[in-house]
Structure 1
Amino acid sequence: MLHAVWHRRHEQGRAELEAAVQDAADDPEDETAVAALCQQIKRALLEDEELLRELSALLPTGSGPVTVTASGERAIAAQTITTAITGDNATIQP
């Protein structure tokens, strides 16, 4: 997907995107660098409707059935889950 975005940008846009990718790759915990990369991608999608359609077609539609199976003692199954505790005498601390 990033490759498709890069190919659609003009020379300056490519340089800006490359710098944003490099910054985010150098320090993935740097929220500012990650946000700058997101902004570059967002700008590209807003400026190019064809690119938006192309990338949207690559994403799963989510329209298919979901099967979740849990098997075994204290097994947990969910499509989306945040916290699950299955042990005895568990202590939860905020």
Structure 2
Amino acid sequence: MEGTANLGRRMLQLVWRRRDEQGQAELEAAVQDAAEAPDDDDAAATLRQQLKRALRDDAELRAELARMLPAAGETVTVTASGERSIAAKTIGTAVTGDNTTIKP
């Protein structure tokens, strides 16, 4: 669930950055209203309408958002077990040992 929330947050941030100052303020207000009243259909509809308009008007934004989504049917299962273990789908450098030196 947290992964889904983080994806949604990143997607909203992308939409927000593509808007002018007024559009950013309107999107912020719609997100705030929907978050404060999750059962309010009108608040959810207002947010949906803003997102639909942003997607309809910006093909590049649609493409960027599509790239953020997992491919259809893609399932990633990662298991980390034991002391100092890590799990990641994508990672640059991970160091979990003591007295480790990383050289370029």
Alignment root-mean-square deviation, CA: 1.3
- TM-score w.r.t. structure 1 length? 0.65
Unaligned runs of 5+ in 2: 1-10, 76-104
The match for 2:51 is: 41
Alpha-carbon displacement from aligned partner over 1:5-53 (angstroms, at most 9, x marks no partner) = 0000011111110110010001000011011101111111111110100
Report the count of equivalent residues.
65
Q: Which amino acid aligns with 1:23?
A: D
The within-5 A match list for 1:55-74 is: 55-64=65-74
Unaligned runs of 5+ in 1: 66-94
Write the distance in 2 (CA, Å) between the matches of 1:5 and 1:64.
Answer: 24
Q: Which has the larger radius of gyration?
A: 1
Counterpart of 1:11 (choices 4, 17, 21) is 21
